[in-house]
Structure 1
Amino acid sequence: MENRDSEQDAILFEPLLKTGPGYWLLIFVLVSTVLWGGYAYMTQFRLGLGVTGLNRPVFWGFYITNFVFFVGISHAGTLISAILRLCQAEWRRPITRMAEAITVLVLFFGAGNILLDLGRPDRVLYMFRYAHLTSPLMWDCISITIYLCGSTTYLYVAMIPDIALLRDRITDWRQPIYQVLALGWNGSHEQERRLQTAIAILAIAVIPIAVSVHTVVSWVFAMTIQPMWHSSIFGPYFVVGAIYSGIAALMLAMILLRKIYHLEDYLKEIHFEYLGQLMLAMCLLWFYFTFAEYLTAFYGHEPVEMSIFWAKVTGHYAPYFWTMVVTDLVIPLAILCNRKTRKIPGIAVASVSVCIGMWLERFTIVVPTLVNPRLPWARGSYAPSWVEISLFAAFIAGFILLYAIFVKLFPIISIWEIREGREQGVAEVTERLRGYLPGDGGLDQPAKAVPLTGFGPWTREIK
């Protein structure tokens, strides 16, 4: 059995063993973009925030928009993966790791935007020297730190069996690293039991943490009395938007990895079908919350809020607002509602559209309110400088760079979960189906009960 599995899953090891010229070209482009972003940051560090478009009263702009956007994308992994694991969705197995990796890697860039917005990075120490738990900013710091630690642990624990496989298969400079990270894994039943228990506990724990993170991010806005921010709906509104953009980012990663590494036998049409249906549900939920938010503001007709409302709908920010509506609602809804267009090419278009639209949504939340402050200040204006745009591009390139490096160090598809699914998944699903239906459920042959903790004979491949 293990020999057949080794041959069948050999393609999953190829990204770690073979590197073509296209990969190095990509790395060159990404590193160049990151270095340009480093130059932009040094310019800001030397000259101050005056080189950006930030001003009074627009003290938040691209940096906070990007912060909310990147933290939202992080919901692609841990939250989706944890829910699918707890629901015992068998189709989750090929996608969990690439989703979890997105969560861990993108969080660094979300937090990095806060450092950019501070101007002086040493001001981060003030969060510890003068910490005050009544501050929503402190809640944000605590929740993101817990989320990063929990997501990293969740990703690492689920990779231990595959790291052990790499330890015994790869003999280059990476072998000592795998030796340490494998933690002495040998596939014993006791180790398997502990691993399954740890994964179950972490999956349960990270769901409320993930929900709380974007809720707290929304409270940084909603706890103020700024017009169009002071809203009790912001918590669930931000969480739904985060899941929506996270699914779109995950499917873009799946499509690219499927094409580049020929993973068609693992990332099948059915996976995109199910995720497409989930994204369609999030699209409708996003529209519901957006409609409710703007309807209540319009119906209340509070003068200061209405100045921002009309600035978005018919004023200076109307192009951003209506582009957001088209990219977040019209395009994905038209594609995902139709089974004929809900295929990989259509889903790729919808995912790109949603990523663009969700960034615009964050931008239209942040900037128009600050341009039209409640305080009796002069109306402001904001346009990002080349520094802000360069750093945004560098952060996107940096995330893709780290993801590309991750693919070269660890299997992007969980090998042990795939093999476990082959050996136990069919029997477990058959047994569950027998329990759902009356009588024997039409299943003439009894299903063999399989323990949930065993990973099967493939573990004998590990020395």
Structure 2
Amino acid sequence: MSEDAITAPRDRYAEITEEITRIPLHYPDKLGWWICFGIALLLLLTFFVSATVLFWNGVGVWGNNIPVNWGLAISNYIWFLGIGHAGTLISALLLILNAHWRNSLNRFAEAMTLVAVTCAGLYPILHLGRPWLFYWMAPYPNTMTIWPQFRSPLTWDFFAVLTYLLVSLLFWYIGIVPDLAATRDRAKKRRARVLYGLAALGWRGSARHWRRWQQSYRLTAAIAVPLVVSVHSEISLLFAAGPIPGWNSTVFPPYFVLGAAFSGFAVVAMIAITLRHVLRLYDLVTPRHLDLLGKLLLTTGLMTAYGYWAEVFDVLYAGEQQELGTLMDRLTGQYAWSYWGAVLCNFVPLQLLWFRTVRRHPLWLFLIGLSVTIGMWFERYMLLVTSLYRDYLVSSWGEYQPSFWDWSLFVGMLGIFFVPFLLFVRFLPVISASEIKEALFEDEEQRRA
């Protein structure tokens, strides 16, 4: 083999590293980033104002009432937590399956998971009457000898979400260490070299470092994959384990898991398209990646649609009067807009993804992802309200309307999402250069063989 043939891949490796590390070191559009960051800070300020009002006056400022004592806060909790699931699926599951196309998407998908799970985790704490005592959920030998009820899905929720957050953080940080070292080595300013150097934990790229990194990275991925199923399955048991009509269904665990992946892939597609355009990553996030994201979105969407059908079939087959009443109320009642909004936003634009040209078209894929994200919010709202506002007793019926502070907290929570994500985009490598180069090396080895 000629020397030029050997040098060409090495030059490509250097170009990839340079292209990815230039983003945190020499951001291409600082003005645009500052505008977006300023808007995100305003949203964050809205969150702090809403949380202050909530803590000062109590949860009575929300629209929660009897019988709808679970309202917008818990539906948003499930919605945010579902969004985060795609990051783990793209990163951990595809890493174990050795699917190299994930390498252009996994880093920002993992970051999305972290901020989405953080937003979700704040909601149950804010929902408590005394949020500063949330640690009572943890099993520790306290002086009051109060222990959590381990048979309650609420306790499972605490452990599942906390474990998911910690494992996701560990998985993300392990993966980014080699790229932090590459950024450190290319930084010109001393402060940047020190900060990236501390974050890189002394990484030097030795064979021993790479071996340990591979072991820890894949081990953490193997731990993270079951969490995707367990977290949303136990959230579904918050509903399915009770006698409430419309909730008591064995289809809920797979239904919730698939719906979470569905909404998560939609958000990943939107983020991939946005970063691809803003950061000019056209050679790293290619039309092939958009095509694959479109296929994943279509697949999980059809599985979620099957969950809708199975839920309706179960109710009609069982013939239980209260369940039939809840189903008809969802279809034609006061909150039918949430059910039909979920159906139309989730599954009508989705059918365009059968066409390859639509899957590869950034604008069309972005709009379909946005529609799915809105539709999945409708679904979470519908599942909560339509089952609670008309219970078994007519005397306990009551309407639910979110208050101004419900909505302002939701808007503010978007600030909790966007502020750290924008900081990640600005100051850290958004794509894994080391994993892309590893995939290129393996492809070169296969061609030579």
Aligned to 2:242, the other structure's residue is in SS state coil
Match of 1:14 among 22, 34, 38: 22
- TM-aligned CA deviation for residue 418 of structure 1: 1.7
1:363-382 to structure 2, matched below 5 A, reads 363-375=381-393, 377-382=395-400
| CA deviations over 1:108-167 (Å, ceiling 9, x no partner) | 100111112114212413313431211110001111111111111111111111111122
**2:244 equivalent to 1:236:** no
Which structure 2 residues correspond to residues 330-369 of structure 1 after superposition, within 5 A?
330-333=348-351, 335-342=352-359, 343-369=361-387
Q: Number of matched residues? A: 430
Query: Does structure 2 conserve the Cα–Cα contact (< 8 Å) formed by 1:40 and 1:390?
Result: yes
8 A contact 1:75–1:210 mirrored in 2: yes
Q: Which 10-residue stretch deviates more, 192-201 or 122-131?
A: 122-131
* Paired position in structure 2 for 1:27: 37
Pair 1:211 & 2:229 matched? yes
1:376 Cα offset (Å) = 5.8
Q: Determine what percentage of the aligned residue pairs are the same residue.
A: 34
Any idea what the Cα deviations from partners look like across 1:285-324, whole Å, max 9, x if unmatched? 0111110011211332322222221121011111111111
Paired residue type of 2:376: M
Q: Which residue of 2 aligns with 1:450?
A: none
Amino acid at match of 2:158: C
> What's 1:134 paired with?
151
CA distance in structure 2 between the partners assigned to 1:97 and 1:146 by the alignment: 20
User: What does the per-residue CA deviation read over 1:314-368, in whole Å, with 9 as the maximum and x for residues that have no partner?
Assistant: 11111111111011111112x1012232222221111001100111111110111
TM-score (norm 1): 0.89
What CA deviation, in whole Å up to 9, does each residue of 1:393-424 have, x standing for no partner? Answer: 11112211111101122100001112222222
With 172-181 and 27-36 compared, the bigger mean Cα shift is at 172-181
CA distance in 2, matches of 1:80, 1:130: 37
Equivalent pair of 1:255/1:348 in contact (CA under 8 Å)? yes
Asked if residue 197 in structure 1 is aligned to residue 205 in structure 2, the reply is no
Whether the 8 Å CA contact 1:251–1:348 is kept in 2: the answer is yes
User: Are 1:161 and 2:169 an aligned pair?
Assistant: no
Deviation of 1:375 after TM superposition, in Å, equals 4.9
Q: Deviations over 1:15-43 (max 9, x none)?
A: 31235211111111111111122112211
Structure 1 spans left out of the alignment, 5+ residues? 431-445, 448-463
Deviation at 1:213, TM superposition (A): 0.5
Q: 1:258 to 1:278 in 2, by over 3 A?
A: same
Residue of structure 2 in register with 1:267 after alignment: 285
1:307–1:372: 8 Å Cα contact kept in structure 2?
no
- Provide the C-alpha distance between the structure 2 equivalents of 1:386 and 1:14, rounded to a whole number of angstroms: 43
Deviation of 1:377 after TM superposition, in Å, equals 3.8
Amino acid at match of 2:69: F
CA distance in 2, matches of 1:205, 1:174: 33
- Give the aligned partner of residue 455 of structure 1: none
Question: What letter corresponds to residue 109 of structure 1 in structure 2?
Answer: C
* Counterpart in the other structure of 2:333: 315
Is the 8 Å Cα contact of residues 47 and 411 (structure 2) preserved in structure 1? Answer: yes
Give the match for residue 68 of structure 1.
78
Matched residues in 1 for 2:66 and 2:147: separation? 25
Residue aligning to 1:296? 314
CA drift at 1:425: 3.1
**Other-structure match for 1:183:** 201
Note the aligned Cα RMSD (angstroms): 1.6
Going from structure 1 to structure 2, the CA distance change for 1:113 and 1:279 (only over 3 Å counts) comes to: same
How far has the Cα of 1:378 moved from its partner?
2.3
Question: Contact 2:339–2:379 (CA<8 Å) still a contact in 1?
Answer: yes
Query: What's the TM-score once normalised by structure 2's chain length?
Result: 0.92
Deviates more, 1:304-313 or 1:143-152: 304-313
